Amino acid sequence: MTKEYLVMIENQQHTVTVSDEAEALLAAKAAGRASVGLWKKEGSQELSMTKYLAESWDDLDSEYLEQVVRRHLGLPWTVAQTRRLVIREFQAGDEREMPPEREEKEGYQAFRNKEFLKEYIEWQYGFYGYGIWAVTEKSSGRIVGKAGIINLAGDWKSAGNLDALELGYHIFTPYRRKGYGLEACEGILKWYREHLDCSLYAKIDASNKASIKLAEKLGFTVKDQKYSGSGQWQFLYEWNC
């Protein structure tokens, strides 16, 4: 079965083809249209011509279809808006817009690499629907930091939290002491509450008093602690809806 949906983005109408038939998906690809493959639980299918799959028609709400079109067009999805900030997906060119940062973790530094960012946008957002997002200032449009949801890594994951997620954030030095970290995380938690399971974690070094204070303001509580390889104690904080 094949259906076509109309999606309006920035006053432009776009068509999304949804089908469980290879021929229809190939035709959509040839026409330059966004498409979603409908996966059949029984029987074989060839759906490699589309990047997106859905298990049922019920999965195809307006938000999901808009995300498909935006990623097809290279336009970022807006995750949340707060009083002063817009949290959105990264887009091509953002690697040039972030101020230099001396204290940035290696994983975050990768976002300054053009090829890494391109792959991240395509596969992280496209597959998981979440990731590290750009935190932008409403008044200026400048990228003031990064924040988002990532898969819980390290020893705690292997201790029974295989599907657990964690909150991460980093506000660039010129934009600190404005409350942007708290505001961005509050916006992300609101999105998380509406879209994902309620348990969420944050890993914080005992020496990072600012992050501990922020986590507690957000309603996180200590669940576990351990001595890390970096030579200091690390806390695992948990948040529930």
Residue 86 pLDDT exceeds 70: yes
Mean pLDDT score of the chain = 87
Q: What is the mean pLDDT of residues 113-136?
A: 89
Give 106 or 134, the one with higher predicted confidence.
134
Q: How many CB atoms lie within 10 A of CB 158?
A: 10
Q: Domain coordinates of the chain in residue numbers?
A: 2-73, 78-239
Residue 162 pLDDT exceeds 70: no
Find all residues with CB under 8 Å of 26, minimum gap 6, and list them. 49
Tens of pLDDT, residues 165-191:
999 999 999 999 999 999 999 999 999
> What's the pTM value of the predicted model, to 2 decimals?
0.84
Find all residues with CB under 8 Å of 170, minimum gap 6, and list them. 101, 104, 105, 108, 145, 146, 147
Tens of pLDDT, residues 15-73:
999 998 889 999 999 999 999 988 877 767 777 888 888 888 888 999 989 999 998 88
Question: Residue 133: which of 119, 112, 149 has the closest Cα?
Answer: 149
Integer Cα distance of 235 and 224 in angstroms: 6
What percentage of the chain exceeds 90 in pLDDT? 50
Tokens of 63: 């938000």
Q: In a 3-state reduction of DSSP, which class is residue 205?
A: strand
Say which CATH topology domain 78-239 has. Aminopeptidase (3.40.630)
Q: What is the mean pLDDT of residues 110-121?
A: 88
**Which pLDDT value is given to residue 155?**
63
Angle (CA) 116 228 169, round 5°: 40
**Which pLDDT value is given to residue 229?**
66
Give 18 or 162, the one with higher predicted confidence.
18
Tokens of 136: 């932008």
Q: How many CB atoms lie within 10 A of CB 150?
A: 15
Question: Helices in the chain by DSSP H: which ranges?
Answer: 22-30, 62-73, 106-109, 114-119, 126-128, 155-158, 180-195, 209-218
Contact 7, 69 (CB under 8 A): yes
